[in-house]
Chain A
Amino acid sequence: MFAGAAREAVFSRAENVRRINAEFVPVALKSGLVYNPFFQNIAPTDEEGRLYRELARSMPAPQGIGIVNSAGKPLEWVLAFDDDRSVLAFLDHARKRFAGFPGARQPVPVERYARFPSRKLPDMQDSGVPPGTMERHPSGQSCAGKAPLPLGTLDVRLFGRALDKEGRLLADTVPQESYVEDRFHIEVPLQERLAKAAAGAGTARFRIEDDLARLLTGHAYLGHLDSNPSQAAPGGCDLWGRKVEPDANGPIRIRIEGTSEARGASSREDQRARIDGAFWEHEVRLVWEGLIEVREARVTRLLLLARGSEKLKWLNRHLQLPEKADVTSLTAGHAVDLACAVRYGITGEPVPAGEAAGPSAAGPESRVPEHVVRGLIDALGPAFLVFRDNVQAELKLSNEQKVKLDKRLRAVALETQKFFRSLEDTRPEERQNALGSYRMQAQAKLAAFLRQTLRVDQLKRLGQVELQQDGLFALGRPDVSQGLRITDEQRQRFMGVIQEMEMTIAPLVRALQSGGNPQEIGPRMRGVRKTHEGKLEGLLSDLQKKLWMEMLGKPLDLGR
């Protein structure tokens, strides 16, 4: 909501645009990269991660507009403005503050505004963390702000317009309820399945599979992200393809036709409606036509058109929303009451090879950086230690095994980064559930892969190394618990220690999630963990301690 409102009310005004381009260096970053340390596990480098954390620690909210000096120190944050003129006044104010603190020579207090200039929040004092000196990303490493897509991915762009009563395109293209652009991607497996279906159907018409049909039709709606009519349940769509103009030398052309319908609304069960008062209903009905060109099981061009009608209401139970995007309320958005004819156009082309991730972009010799491996271990569990160099040396892997693991690591890293990106728009409670589920799936897939790739003695040693990483918290695993012959009474006391540790750690996690410095909080969390591991050890008998040491095997230095 904030992003859409800021784009409309602040960054679409001619005078603001002119001054920002002339007097500032405009940089736009995703909140998931800057604000949430959870995602910074896969930040490209520790030094760049420090720059993000320095920004995040003073932000009054996960989104905002800020001013940053040449050393990467934030000077100002603002969430809204008193009126349109206040935006220009803020730019003047920002220039003056930058003149006073252009670089890294002196500490910089951060000024923060809930609304500029009338609602000022307490300043945040300088962290004292030295500014970064990093000039650019290491060779062969892409910027986390623009992660490359896998080679073969189809880059798809959508354009949607509302029509007036005479059937003309509405001229005002600033609000998203009259003009919308969207962008999404079609992965290689989906393209391959389409090519296979077309080949199998000959010249007969065939139904476009639901995953692809929903992907293509599901982005066609006006308004902002939160008004997606398919967010609660997928819309209905009935798209058909028919191969035409078969030509042995040219691409296969698939003529597409069909219909789609999407309908959604807020309800009493909708958590957002209860918390922030958002009330909405949205319905879209479209008829589709177009074609998709396929060559060697990859889509080489996609051209689709849709016509139909749309109805959208967006209100708030608690607030009288303005009729247009307003700088005073960037977080609440504005009211929408729309019922009109609409048109959509969709084009798709393969991501250029030079911009894609994969052999042609990264080079066959490029390796997944060590900090990404550490991030995977933190996020997905100790089984992922197998991707660390010192663990592979300990397991005495053959060259063939190393090549297989390296290939697997690339796939896991890409898949996991994609998963984290998909979490960026979700709420914290949804994020935790999604991560838990993803972690279980990733662990099961890795275990199956390792069973086929490693020898029995290597699997056994890897199991010991995993236990060394987990420590006595592995007592929660049934195999460990049974191996140590843990009694019911011990299990209950064990749970008590774990609950106590969770209560002690919870405020530290919250501090971390709200922009706290991981370099300060991380050691404290590890200290809490170590203390409670000692308590767990105190629950074991001498025999159990002996068995536990046997389970661990020879210690391996795992570093952090």
Chain B
Amino acid sequence: MKHPIGWLASGALAALTLGAGWAQGPAATEKTPEALKAEIEALKPPRVAWREIAWKSCLLEGLRESRATGKPILLWVFIDRPIDDARC
């Protein structure tokens, strides 16, 4: 791990460098909506392991399917929002 001071300094340097364009007015390389969207899309992994489970968020729907298929419900009770594409 880097020394904390070194880490802070590098962060500050990055902020100064990247912020410079804004201080001088509109940058020549302002991204188009399409370019921004492409960069954001590139952050998404092709497959997220935990999303492979087809969770239902409605107990009644789950019970209906359980009766129709003869399968038990596997119920996950949680405090946060892990199946809602949210941090948990």
CB-defined contacts of A74 to chain B, threshold 8 Å = 75
| B43, A68: Cβ atoms closer than 8 Å | no
| A224, B56: Cβ atoms closer than 8 Å | no
| A134, B60: Cβ atoms closer than 8 Å | yes
Chain B contacts with A in 72-88, Cβ cutoff 8 A: 72-88
Shortest C-beta distance, A157 to chain B (Å), equals: 6
Q: Does A305 contact B (CB under 8 A)?
A: yes
Shortest C-beta distance, B34 to chain A (Å), equals: 9
| A27, B74: Cβ atoms closer than 8 Å | yes
CB-defined contacts of B11 to chain A, threshold 8 Å = 283, 285, 308-309
Shortest C-beta distance, B62 to chain A (Å), equals: 4
Chain B residue with minimal CB distance to A174?
B49
| B75, A347: Cβ atoms closer than 8 Å | no
Question: Complex Cα distance A82/B22, Å?
Answer: 54
CB-defined contacts of A291 to chain B, threshold 8 Å = 33, 36
| A48, B82: Cβ atoms closer than 8 Å | no
Shortest C-beta distance, B70 to chain A (Å), equals: 7
Given contacts A102-B70, A174-B49, A255-B30, contact A180 B87 (CB under 8 A): yes
CB-defined contacts of B55 to chain A, threshold 8 Å = 26-28
| B75, A55: Cβ atoms closer than 8 Å | yes
Chain B contacts with A in 12-62, Cβ cutoff 8 A: 12, 14-15, 18-19, 22, 26, 30-31, 33, 36-37, 39-41, 43-45, 48-50, 52-62
Shortest C-beta distance, B41 to chain A (Å), equals: 8
CB-defined contacts of A23 to chain B, threshold 8 Å = 71
Total A-B residue contacts, Cβ distance less than 8 Å:
268
| B1, A176: Cβ atoms closer than 8 Å | no
Q: Does A32 contact B (CB under 8 A)?
A: yes
| A225, B85: Cβ atoms closer than 8 Å | no
| B19, A25: Cβ atoms closer than 8 Å | no
| A31, B82: Cβ atoms closer than 8 Å | no
| A17, B53: Cβ atoms closer than 8 Å | yes
Q: Does A533 contact B (CB under 8 A)?
A: no
Question: Complex Cα distance A291/B39, Å?
Answer: 13
| B60, A136: Cβ atoms closer than 8 Å | yes
Question: Complex Cα distance A71/B44, Å?
Answer: 39
Chain A residue with minimal CB distance to B88?
A3
Given contacts A289-B31, A305-B39, A339-B7, contact A143 B15 (CB under 8 A): no
Given contacts A7-B50, A143-B57, contact A309 B86 (CB under 8 A): no
CB-defined contacts of A11 to chain B, threshold 8 Å = 49-50, 53, 76
**What per-residue 1/0 map shows which CB atoms of A183-224 lie under 8 Å from chain B?**
100000000000000000000000000000000000100001
| A20, B53: Cβ atoms closer than 8 Å | yes
| A66, B75: Cβ atoms closer than 8 Å | yes
| B78, A6: Cβ atoms closer than 8 Å | yes
Shortest C-beta distance, A63 to chain B (Å), equals: 5
Chain B residue with minimal CB distance to A424?
B79
| B57, A69: Cβ atoms closer than 8 Å | no
Q: Does A296 contact B (CB under 8 A)?
A: no
| B37, A59: Cβ atoms closer than 8 Å | no
CB-defined contacts of B56 to chain A, threshold 8 Å = 25-28
Question: Complex Cα distance A99/B41, Å?
Answer: 45
| B87, A75: Cβ atoms closer than 8 Å | no
Question: Complex Cα distance A72/B60, Å?
Answer: 9
CB-defined contacts of B2 to chain A, threshold 8 Å = 339
| Range, interface on chain A | 35 or more
| A425, B80: Cβ atoms closer than 8 Å | yes
Chain A contacts with B in 72-111, Cβ cutoff 8 A: 72, 74-75, 91, 94-95, 97-98, 102-103
CB-defined contacts of B85 to chain A, threshold 8 Å = 157, 181-183
CB-defined contacts of B71 to chain A, threshold 8 Å = 23-25, 98
Given contacts A17-B49, A27-B73, A70-B63, contact A224 B18 (CB under 8 A): no
CB-defined contacts of B41 to chain A, threshold 8 Å = 345
From B14, B22, B37, B76, A28 is in contact (CB under 8 Å) with B76
CB-defined contacts of A55 to chain B, threshold 8 Å = 75, 77
Chain A residue with minimal CB distance to B83?
A28
| A307, B18: Cβ atoms closer than 8 Å | yes
CB-defined contacts of A174 to chain B, threshold 8 Å = 49-50
CB-defined contacts of A345 to chain B, threshold 8 Å = 39-41, 43-44
| B79, A24: Cβ atoms closer than 8 Å | no
Question: Complex Cα distance A157/B41, Å?
Answer: 12
Chain A contacts with B in 35-67, Cβ cutoff 8 A: 35, 48, 51-52, 55, 59, 62-67
From A29, A102, A219, A225, B76 is in contact (CB under 8 Å) with A29
CB-defined contacts of B60 to chain A, threshold 8 Å = 48, 51, 134-137, 143
Question: Complex Cα distance A98/B69, Å?
Answer: 13
Q: Does A2 contact B (CB under 8 A)?
A: yes
Q: Does A290 contact B (CB under 8 A)?
A: yes
CB-defined contacts of B15 to chain A, threshold 8 Å = 259, 261, 285, 287, 308
CB-defined contacts of A425 to chain B, threshold 8 Å = 79-80
From B39, B44, B76, B84, A65 is in contact (CB under 8 Å) with B76
- Closest CB pairs A-B (n = 6): A345-B40, A27-B62, A12-B49, A98-B72, A3-B78, A24-B74
Q: Which residues of A contact B (CB under 8 A)?
A: 2-4, 6-8, 11-14, 17, 20-21, 23-32, 34-35, 48, 51-52, 55, 59, 62-72, 74-75, 91, 94-95, 97-98, 102-103, 132, 134-137, 143, 145-146, 157, 159-161, 169, 173-174, 176, 179-183, 219, 224-225, 240, 242, 244, 255, 257-259, 261, 283, 285, 287, 289-291, 293, 301, 303-305, 307-309, 311, 337, 339, 343-347, 424-425
29 intermolecular pairs with C-beta atoms under 8 Å apart: A2-B79, A7-B82, A12-B49, A20-B53, A21-B52, A24-B74, A26-B56, A26-B62, A29-B77, A31-B78, A31-B79, A34-B77, A55-B77, A62-B79, A65-B74, A70-B67, A98-B71, A135-B60, A181-B85, A182-B86, A183-B85, A225-B80, A225-B87, A287-B18, A304-B36, A309-B7, A309-B10, A311-B4, A337-B1
Beyond A95-B72, A255-B30, 5 additional contacts (C-beta under 8 Å) are: A157-B85, A255-B26, A339-B2, A345-B43, A347-B40
